[in-house]
Amino acid sequence: MRRYSRVEDVQLVNWLKAGDEQAFTEIYNRYWQKLLAIGYFYTGDKHAAEDIVHDVMLSLWDRKNDLDIQSLNAYLGTAVKFSVFKLISRNKKHTEMLGDLDTTTDRGTIEQRLDAKFLNEYLQGTIEKLPEKARLVFRYSREEYLTVTAIADKMDLSPKAVEYHITKALKILREMVKKIKTIIF
Fold of 1-89: Rna Polymerase Sigma Factor; Chain: A (1.10.1740)
Q: Tens digit of pLDDT for each residue in 100-157? A: 555 555 555 666 776 677 777 778 888 888 889 999 999 999 989 999 999 999 999 9
Q: Tens digit of pLDDT for each residue in 86-104? A: 887 777 765 665 565 555 5
CA distance 81 to 75: 10
Domain range annotation of the chain: 1-89, 101-185
Q: CA angle, 155 as apex, 124 and 160 as ends, to 5°? A: 90
* pTM confidence score: 0.49
CA distance 166 to 170: 6
Cα distances (angstroms) measured from residue 176 to each of 31, 90, 182: 31, 18, 10
Read off the amino acid at residue 9.
D
Fold of 101-185: Arc Repressor Mutant, subunit A (1.10.10)
Going by the DSSP 8-state scheme, the letter that residue 4 receives in this structure is: G
Q: CA angle, 159 as apex, 168 and 121 as ends, to 5°? A: 35
